[in-house]
């Protein structure tokens, strides 16, 4: 068992809101909590697909260093506000949507006329303010799907329309990832790791989907490097597993199917166990300490001997 690497699982998911959740992962091999936590954090922040504005075409303005009539904010401030609008795009095609508003008042993301492939995640985001009853604003917004970050220089090189203002795009829907590592145990093994990771998103993707996509990306990357090499791992065990619950590791775990006769216990202890129909380590773990003491011919001395043997085997 000491040569096996435990297979972890997500044991609890605590949802703080629709955009924030904490995942507890255990048991992890000693040191793996930091390794997996850092990997998941970096991938979640940089590699999850999302949608972002990459260009804006204003009616009445050909570049960002100007103002619009009857609009309180200048073009630069409007663009900054537009970058805070988050979209959910169904498909990979570039989308163009239009925003128009007439009359005095705030211009928000809900004023954007979307199509069937585009959804505004935060419609209450303020974009501009019209300060004249006869004022108006009209602009076309280009939205693309991508990963990570694209600079304004990269966006500009792809724009054919000279009057379209390029916008540096932050595609990642994950806004923040925090993690910490705690100790956990499985049976007598107490130096295992528990990873607690919290993911905050912009609402265009759920924290659970972001977590699973980050893990899937890592799996694909490492699988490509592993080739045909396979490593035996211990079966997944429940969080905080005790000696009696390690039986849940599965029918096929070789260590659990070890015969009592192969444990090199004293003849008296071995005979007591076999005579009570306990033939494998799995059978042994199915009983509590109290139940073992009640076995015919099995006393406290035998129980101490069995516990020492299990500790030696690192159960």
Does domain 5-46+174-234 bear CATH number 3.30.1360.10? yes
**Range in 66-70, 139-143, 276-280 the model is least confident about:** 276-280
List, as one string, the DSSP characters of 223-270.
Answer: HHHHTT----EEPP--TT--TTTGGGG-TT-TTTT-BGGGG---HHHH
| Average of per-residue pLDDT across 287-294 | 74
pLDDT tens-digit readout, 153-166? 876 666 555 688 88
Which pLDDT does position 237 carry in this prediction?
55
pLDDT tens-digit readout, 251-274? 445 566 777 877 778 888 888 888
| Average of per-residue pLDDT across 294-298 | 79
pLDDT tens-digit readout, 83-121? 999 999 998 899 999 999 999 999 999 999 999 999 999
Which pLDDT does position 146 carry in this prediction?
93
Fold (topology level) of 246-312? DNA polymerase; domain 1 (1.10.150)
Tokens coding 48? 């999850």
CA dist 111 and 126 (Å) reads 10
CA dist 118 and 205 (Å) reads 14
> Where in the chain does DSSP place strands (E)?
5-6, 9-17, 20-28, 49-58, 87-89, 95-102, 105-108, 112-113, 118-120, 126-130, 136-147, 149-150, 165-166, 169-170, 174-186, 189-201, 233-234
Kindly report the CATH class assigned to 49-168: mainly beta
CA dist 305 and 287 (Å) reads 15
Banded model confidence at residue 309, pLDDT cuts 50, 70, 90: confident
| Average of per-residue pLDDT across 127-146 | 93
Query: How far is C-alpha 263 from the chain's CA centre?
Result: 42
184-198, 235-249, 287-301 — most confident range = 184-198
CA dist 11 and 148 (Å) reads 29
pLDDT tens-digit readout, 56-79? 999 888 788 888 998 999 999 999
Cis peptide before 252 (omega within 30 of 0): no
Domains 5-46+174-234 and 246-312 share a fold: no
Domain segments of the chain as ranges:
5-46+174-234, 49-168, 246-312
Which pLDDT does position 314 carry in this prediction?
60
């Amino acid at each position: 068992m000491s040569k096996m690497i435990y297979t972890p699982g997500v044991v609890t998911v605590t949802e703080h809101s629709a955009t924030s959740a904490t995942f507890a992962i255990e048991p992890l091999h000693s040191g793996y909590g930091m390794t997996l936590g850092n990997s998941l954090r970096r991938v979640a922040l940089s590699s999850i697909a999302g949608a972002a504005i990459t260009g804006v075409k204003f009616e009445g303005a050909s570049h960002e260093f100007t103002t619009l009539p009857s609009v309180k904010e200048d073009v630069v401030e409007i663009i900054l506000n537009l970058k805070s609008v988050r979209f959910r795009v169904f498909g990979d095609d570039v989308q163009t949507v239009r925003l128009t508003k007439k009359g005095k008042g705030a211009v928000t993301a809900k004023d954007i006329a979307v199509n069937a492939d585009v959804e505004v995640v935060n419609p209450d985001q303020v974009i501009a303010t019209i300060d004249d009853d006869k004022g108006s604003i009209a602009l076309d917004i280009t939205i693309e799907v991508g990963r990570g970050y694209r600079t304004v220089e990269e966006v500009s090189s792809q724009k054919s329309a000279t009057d379209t203002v390029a916008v540096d795009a932050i595609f990642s829907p994950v806004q923040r990832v925090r993690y910490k590592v705690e100790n956990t145990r499985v049976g007598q093994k107490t130096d295992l790791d528990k990873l607690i990771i919290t993911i905050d998103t912009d609402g265009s993707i759920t924290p659970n989907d972001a977590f699973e996509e980050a893990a899937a990306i890592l799996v694909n990357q490492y699988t490509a490097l592993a080739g045909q090499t396979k490593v035996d791992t211990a079966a997944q065990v429940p969080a905080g597993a005790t000696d009696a619950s390690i039986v849940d590791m599965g029918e096929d775990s070789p260590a659990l199917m070890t015969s009592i006769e192969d444990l090199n216990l004293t003849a008296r202890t071995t005979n007591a166990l076999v005579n009570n129909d306990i033939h494998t380590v799995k059978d042994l773990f199915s009983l509590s300490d109290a139940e073992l003491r009640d076995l015919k011919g099995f006393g406290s001395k035998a129980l101490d001997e069995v516990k020492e043997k299990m500790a030696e085997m690192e159960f």
